[in-house]
A and B are shown apart, each in its own frame.
Chain A
């Protein structure tokens, strides 16, 4: 059964956003958008999270942090890049301290365009991510089953 789709917990990290997308991510939690309707909780802890929501492009300081957070999340997990900055660096792309989009550091599954991305767009992004999350889960479960079977035959 796929409970995963009904209970995605997100971890939000600001990898040098201008706050614009950040606060829209937060706005999703608040009464007007209330993503808890979809079982979404904003956990502050990578070990509990299923979805990593990143705003802002990465700079070199943030590189290891982003990677660390990503690694700390248990499988299956997806990454959503929210906003133009997280996708490509956006308006700051040419700044000396911006390396570019999040995909320079970790694999990104969903890009949410916009500057700032609207709460509705972010919700859409999460919904899109759920599909990918479910696929990954099935692959993982399949992998485990295959491993088991392999174990039995040997």
Chain B
């Protein structure tokens, strides 16, 4: 009964996002997470899905000013991730069903994870 887990990552263009996600949705995938990495000057946004432990990851690479569309119409629960994306990285996500408008985490410093946006790393004094 042990199932082997597979992970695949596909790079997609921002324009294809909604189509791809929609396709996964109709395929019966569930949303696992949306996460982001600052790769210096650009952001890698990972949309991860799962079906029977098979892990599919859609990867979007966007410029700082690019707005990305919300997938919360397809996956209602995506709003938590998308708000997080905005609050930690400063990425604008348009059309979130429950938009906290930057009040999701309310961090001390804005966009703490976005080196690009903050222009360098700062540390708390010890």
Closest chain B CB from A62 CB (angstroms)? 11
Interface bracket on A: 10 to 19
The winner among A60, A93, A96 for most chain B CB atoms within 10 A is A96
Count of A-B residue pairs with CB < 8 Å: 25
Give residues 80-126 of B contacting A (CB, 8 Å). 105-109, 112, 122-124, 126
Q: Are A96 and B126 in contact (CB under 8 A)?
A: no
Closest chain B CB from A30 CB (angstroms)? 33
Count residues of B near A (Cβ-Cβ below 8 Å): 10
Q: Are A60 and B108 in contact (CB under 8 A)?
A: yes
Q: Which residue of B lies closest to A100 (CB)?
A: B124
The winner among A59, A94, A97 for most chain B CB atoms within 10 A is A97
Alpha-carbon distance A147/B60, docked complex (angstroms): 70
- Residues of A close to B109: CB separation below 8 A: 96-97
Having A94-B124, A96-B123, A97-B112, one finds 13 other A-B pairs with CB under 8 Å, namely: A59-B108, A60-B107, A61-B106, A93-B126, A94-B123, A95-B124, A96-B108, A96-B122, A96-B124, A97-B105, A97-B109, A98-B124, A99-B108
Chain B residues engaging chain A, CB cutoff 8 angstroms: 105-109, 112, 122-124, 126
A sample of 25 inter-chain contacts (CB < 8 A) reads A59-B108, A60-B106, A60-B107, A60-B108, A61-B106, A93-B124, A93-B126, A94-B123, A94-B124, A94-B126, A95-B124, A96-B107, A96-B108, A96-B109, A96-B112, A96-B122, A96-B123, A96-B124, A97-B105, A97-B107, A97-B108, A97-B109, A97-B112, A98-B124, A99-B108
